[in-house]
Amino acid sequence: MSSIETGKHYNQPASNLTDKVPPVDTRKYFDAVTKSLSKAKEPPTAKDAVSSQPDGSSVKSYLHIITKYTSGMELLIKDKELGLDHVFEVNPKAAPLNMKDLIKYIGETHVLEGKQSAFTRDETICPGIMVIINECDWEVMDELDYVLKNDDTIEFISTLHGG
């Protein structure tokens, strides 16, 4: 079974995919390739992807992000993944990808059908889920407005109440 899947072109309404390309492309990214961290021996990296584009004029921009799911968050993710490795082909002419975009993308693409309401709520993360950006609580890092950087690791941790 292949663990690679192609993400949606989500910033564009589905109907636009078949219509003619709009004059100014406002999509923040064109494509997203995701591998399972546990299954992939060699996760895709932005560096690899860029180096495969030798023609300087048409170099594509890539953004490599790792997402992790712990303390039960993995139960919301398709195939109960503990970690995913994403490479976004970003649109250099659009605004950069931020946490709000990432949460929306994960919610739409990787969260189990019917479990979305336990992941996102009111365009942000559900209460009770901690978001950790590079080992640091996202509250000290602009939260939804945090602009994703290459090789960032974003972790989603649900709070536990049992004992």
Partner 1 sequence: MDNRDRISQLKARLSRIRSEELEVMAELCALEAAESSLAAPKDLADGKLSPEEIRRYSRQLLIPEIGTRGQRQLRDSSVLVVGTGGLGSPCALYLAAMGVGTLGLVDHDTVDYSNLHRQIIHTEAACGSSKVISACLGLSRLNPLCRVRAHNVLLDSSNAKEIMQGYDLVVDATDNAATRYLINDACVMLDIPLVSGSAVRLDGQLTVYNYKGGPCYRCLFPTPPPVDAMASCSETGVLGVVPGVIGCLQAMEVVKVLTGRKATEDPNLLIFSYKSQPHFRSIKLRSRKPTCAVCGDVPTVKELVDYAAFCGSGPNDNAPDWKILDDPSQRVTCTEYSRVASNPATKHLLLDVRDETQFDICSLPNSLNIPIDQFDQRLAELERAIRELDGAPVYTVCRRGNLSQLAVVYIRQKLGYGQCYDIARGLVGWQQEVDSDFPAY
Minimum CB distance to partner 1, residue 112 (Å): 9
Single out the residue of 16, 51, 117, 153 in contact with partner 1 (rule: CB under 8 A): 117
The 34-73 site mask, x for binding partner 1 (CB under 8 A), equals ------------------------------------xxx-
Minimum CB distance to partner 1, residue 111 (Å): 12
Under the binding rule (CB under 8 A), the answer on residue 130 touching partner 1 is yes
Question: For residue 125, what are the β-bridge partners?
Answer: 120
**Could you tell me if 88 and 32 are in contact, meaning their C-beta atoms sit under 8 angstroms apart?**
yes
Instruction: Pick between residue 88 and residue 138 the one whose CB is nearest to partner 1.
Output: 138
Token code pair at residue 124:
């942000």
Alpha helices, H only, the chain: 46-51, 99-109
Minimum CB distance to partner 1, residue 16 (Å): 29
User: Interacting stretch for partner 1, rule CB under 8 A, among 9-17, 28-36, 49-57, 121-129?
Assistant: 121-129
CA distance 91 to 27: 7
Residues in contact with partner 1 by CB under 8 A are: 70-72, 82, 113, 117-118, 121, 126-130, 132, 135-137, 139-140, 155, 157-163
